[in-house]
Amino acid sequence: MIHAQTTLSIATPGQGLVDFTGQAAVWVSDQNVGRGLLTVFCRHTSASLTIQENADPDVQLDLNDFFGRLVSIDPALYRHAAEGPDDMPAHIRSALTDTSLTIPVSGGHMALGTWQGIYLFEHRNRPHQREVVLHLVGD
């Protein structure tokens, strides 16, 4: 049984989805694990993770627009404002999505579907440097 772990640093341009499938795929491949489970964990409370379509960039734009309508940035709606008007909405968006994902590994590669990609979903307005922990267990 092999346990391997690393932390990816992902730069975000502000609100939106950042595809880091390639970085994760290279790391998994380098671990020489034939089959196992990859846990992907976001170390932040104002960003999250999702597996989404990676063929049409309009999907990511539509998701970001939808969350903007679902959880508005209106300071009158929230008590928590210590880190700016977009912080509490970012926490809510993160609570509605995922902070961790589990992906099977088969044949030394993530068993993602043809059109699936792994995304960091940045919920804050300004750019951030985010950390995502990858933990692989397998043989």
For the segment 12-53, what is each residue's pLDDT rounded down to a tens digit?
999 999 999 999 999 999 999 999 999 999 999 999 999 999
Task: Report in angstroms the alpha-carbon separations of 58 from 17, 45, 61, 62, 130.
Answer: 11, 25, 5, 6, 23
pTM for this entry: 0.96
Overall average pLDDT of the 115-137 stretch: 98
What integer pLDDT is reported at residue 69 of this predicted model? 97
In order of their start, the domains of the chain are: 2-138 (2.60.120.460)
In whole angstroms, give the CA distance from residue 122 to residue 13. 8
